[in-house]
Amino acid sequence: MQARKLRRFESRSTDRLIFFSDAVVAIAITLLALELPVPEGPGVAEFRSSVADDLDHYLAFLISFVVISAAWRQHNTAFRYAERIDSRVRTLNFWWLMTIVLNPFATKLLTTEGDDVDTMPLRFGFYALLQFLANAAILAMVRRMSLQHLRDPDVPPAFAVAEQRVLYGMLAGFGLSIPLFFLTPFAWVLWIALPVAAGQVRRNVRADPTGS
């Protein structure tokens, strides 16, 4: 009876962590839209010109929306089979949440007026570093839950392997883009290419969950 009650309490703690994390992600992704500039102009031509002038803001919003959505998807995948958590997972989760709430600030930093030649690698590099740390936190939580047997023992082995492969790929992509920004302003293409590749890996696992 005591063991059953303890498992119920541990499950409740895990659910609270997941619900709280979902709420923080929802707020962060909503704040992105609040930073969008509103087009102005008395006529159609002026309105279109205003939209064109702020196109970088809209593009940054779109990129960050996709990035935060991908981060939530990875968090959801990591906790899909979680039965309980420990203090290490809880701490790592709060570090992950810190990277999430900083995303609106980092997005605004991407569109800050300034000398692109001098500040672009720093602004875009900081954004990439933030995503690198987010993926590192997820990977650390996944490894911790696996090593401490905090997940359901029936997790498909192919699923666990593919999950870590996706996270390592994201780490490599965002990490590589940081020095590349000092060579080319188009290093952000990796931010789009990698989520697409990660999605393909997940689709392959779903199609063949046994790994055969």
- Burial code (b: 16+ CB inside 10 Å, e: under 16) for 174-198 equals bbebbebbeeeeebbebbeebbeeb
Q: Look at residue 25 in the predicted model and tell me its pLDDT.
A: 94
The residue ranges of every structural domain in the chain are 2-207
Least confident of 27-31, 139-143, 185-189: 185-189
Q: Does the pLDDT value for residue 79 go beyond 80?
A: yes
| Chain-centroid distance, C-alpha 139 | 12
User: Distance (Å, rounded) from C-alpha 152 to C-alpha 155?
Assistant: 6
Give the whole-number percent of the chain exceeding pLDDT 70: 81
**Where does the pLDDT of residue 96 fall: very low under 50, low under 70, confident under 90, or very high at 90 and above?**
very high
Q: Which amino acid is at 180?
A: L
More confident residue, 198 or 27: 27
Question: Which residue shows structure tokens 């992600």?
Answer: 25
Q: Does the pLDDT value for residue 211 go beyond 50?
A: no
In degrees and rounded to multiples of 5, residue 74 shows phi and psi of: -65, -40
Q: Look at residue 56 in the predicted model and tell me its pLDDT.
A: 79
Q: Look at residue 195 in the predicted model and tell me its pLDDT.
A: 64
Q: Look at residue 4 in the predicted model and tell me its pLDDT.
A: 54
**Where does the pLDDT of residue 212 fall: very low under 50, low under 70, confident under 90, or very high at 90 and above?**
very low
Label residue 45 exposed, middle or buried (CB < 10 Å: 0-12, 13-18, 19+): exposed
Q: Look at residue 67 in the predicted model and tell me its pLDDT.
A: 84
Give the whole-number percent of the chain exceeding pLDDT 90: 22
Q: Does the pLDDT value for residue 90 go beyond 90?
A: yes
Decide if 201 contacts 141 (C-beta within 8 A).
no
Provide the greatest CA pair distance for the chain: 72
Does the pTM of the predicted model rise above 0.85?
no
What average pLDDT does the segment 96-108 reach?
91
